[in-house]
Amino acid sequence: MKLGQLTGGSETDVVTGFAIDHRKVAPGTIFGAFQGARVNGEDFIADAVRAGAVAVVARRGVTVEGAVHVADDEPRAAFARLAARFFAPFPSTNVAVTGTNGKTSTVEMTRQLWRMAGEHAASIGTLGVTTADERVHTGLTTPDVVTFLSNVAGLAREGVTHLAFEASSHGLTQYRTEGLTVSAAAFTNLSRDHLDYHGDMGAYLTAKMRLFSEVLDPAGTAVVWADDVEAARVIDLARARGNRLVTVGTRGSTLRLVERHPTLLGQGLVIEDEHGATHRVQLPLIGGYQAANALVAAGLVIATGGDIGQTVANLARLQPVRGRLERAAIARSGAPVYVDYAHTPDAIEAAIAALKPHAGGRLIAVIGAGGDRDPGKREAMGQVAAMQADRVIVTDDNPRTEDPAQIRAALMRGAPGAAEIGDRRAAIGAAIREAGSEDIVLITGKGHEQGQIVGDMVLPFDDVTVARECAAA
């Protein structure tokens, strides 16, 4: 493809690819020179040109010599638009999910529901890329825009027509989710997280809202979990833009949750749809927030043409999502052991609340907090665990470059009666050993992750595998 075809100019240079890392520039590359939190890509423009960049996307006023300067006040957005033209075509139906919790489960449930309806579907998020034939490739919640768009284009070449992807606050702020026509966007909830990056809750919410104010197609649909305190903000924005609305939850209009009761391996739901019809379904997943995620996923499917009755009925066939209230093992005592990705105060509270009705005895929670991340939530995480669980063990999560003892101390301030066992394997083993036949063990924080980040090293560690090994010991 010629450069002029992308920029609208007369340039005849052949474009071979895109890069935001100057070390990945090859002849024919368009280089994105962006200001970052730690590195300024503008400092590497000359290196990129020497490596063969034919164009550089950067702010106005930045010096670019030896290549075409694509100047824009928001270079990340301009870069994404050019990359989208280069990598297209994409799947015909694309939906995005944002919110503090539930994004991963919702996109994966959406993929499953589409597949049940006969669509060739895939999902992209924290678990990676899950394709139509169930293959999973590990990745970030929202990859860089080059990786994202090239992956999406690859899915289209494989025949994928329906794609659900996570839109994180970081990704939305950094324009990593641009380039696709998003026909439906979903909001799950908002609670404290990532304030180390955004600064305050107002900026965090603003980042999330960009999905609805700029990314969602003007003719698209906003799908909203109506029970969240910030739902009204999303609903008002959608109405102001003229988007169609699909609301779900106990306050929802499209799918109203009338009744929910726990069962041995899941929960029974009574749902009333927008036409007044009542649906009864056995959801094979434990916990109120799992029901919320399932209903948001159903809303996305309905928003993109799915039949209401069939979609709701298919909720009974949903499979658990990796690391999301995943039953990892059964202790020798008979106590079930669950692993969950919960790493915020409200997520820990929701996970405990999900399991409590199923515990005849105690709920034993293993908690930790990640290093180099919002320290203000740690004490609150300990408080929630101490208030809701019967027994709390504080351990290490991903300490990264922080002193793990200091991270644990912050958690212990919120849960002064908790046991402190820094070694994560030892903490998991202790929880499982002391669990009685009527107890439930909940291991929070890492979910699906396959490693523990200590300093600049990633050490192999999978909570599910470790739980099974400890249960068998």
189 is in an annotated binding site: no
DSSP summary character for residue 254: S
Q: In the predicted model, is pLDDT for residue 205 greater than 80?
A: no
List pLDDT tens digits, range 89-131: 999 999 999 998 889 999 999 999 999 999 999 999 888 888 8
Counting the structural domains of the chain, the total is 3
Residues 18 and 39 grouped into a single domain: yes
The pLDDT of residue 98 is 93
82 found inside a domain: no
Residues 6 or more apart whose CB falls under 8 angstroms from that of 192 comprise 100, 201, 344, 345, 346, 374, 376, 377, 380
362 is in an annotated binding site: no
153 found inside a domain: yes
50 is in an annotated binding site: no
Measured CA to CA, the distance from residue 300 to residue 96 in angstroms comes to 9
Measured CA to CA, the distance from residue 9 to residue 70 in angstroms comes to 11
378 is in an annotated binding site: no
> What percent of the chain is predicted at pLDDT more than 90?
78
99 is in an annotated binding site: yes
Measured CA to CA, the distance from residue 45 to residue 66 in angstroms comes to 10
List pLDDT tens digits, range 142-200: 568 999 999 999 999 999 999 999 998 777 888 887 889 999 999 998 864 544 444 56
Q: Indicate which CATH number applies to the domain containing 25.
A: 3.40.1390.10
Where does a domain end: 294, 317, 340? 317
Residues 420 and 447 grouped into a single domain: yes
16 is in an annotated binding site: no
397 is in an annotated binding site: yes
Measured CA to CA, the distance from residue 137 to residue 133 in angstroms comes to 12
Q: Indicate which CATH number applies to the domain containing 452.
A: 3.90.190.20
- Antiparallel, parallel or unpaired: β 136-137 and 244-249: unpaired
Residues 284 and 151 grouped into a single domain: yes
Residues 435 and 311 grouped into a single domain: no
Query: Which residue's entry shows tokens 């999902």?
Result: 123
142 is in an annotated binding site: yes
Residues 404 and 356 grouped into a single domain: yes
Q: How far apart are the first and last CA of the chain?
A: 59
Where does a domain end: 317, 345, 370? 317
Domain housing 197: 88-317
List pLDDT tens digits, range 311-348: 999 999 999 888 888 999 999 999 999 999 999 998 89
The pLDDT of residue 138 is 52
79 found inside a domain: no
Residues 417 and 444 grouped into a single domain: yes
Q: Cβ atoms within 10 A of the Cβ of 386, count? A: 21
User: What mean pLDDT do residues 44-71 have?
Assistant: 97
Residues 430 and 293 grouped into a single domain: no
169 is in an annotated binding site: no
Q: How confident is the model at residue 243 (pLDDT cuts 50, 70, 90)?
A: very high
Residues 69 and 21 grouped into a single domain: yes
441 found inside a domain: yes
Where does a domain end: 263, 295, 317? 317
Residues 185 and 305 grouped into a single domain: yes
141 is in an annotated binding site: yes
100 is in an annotated binding site: yes
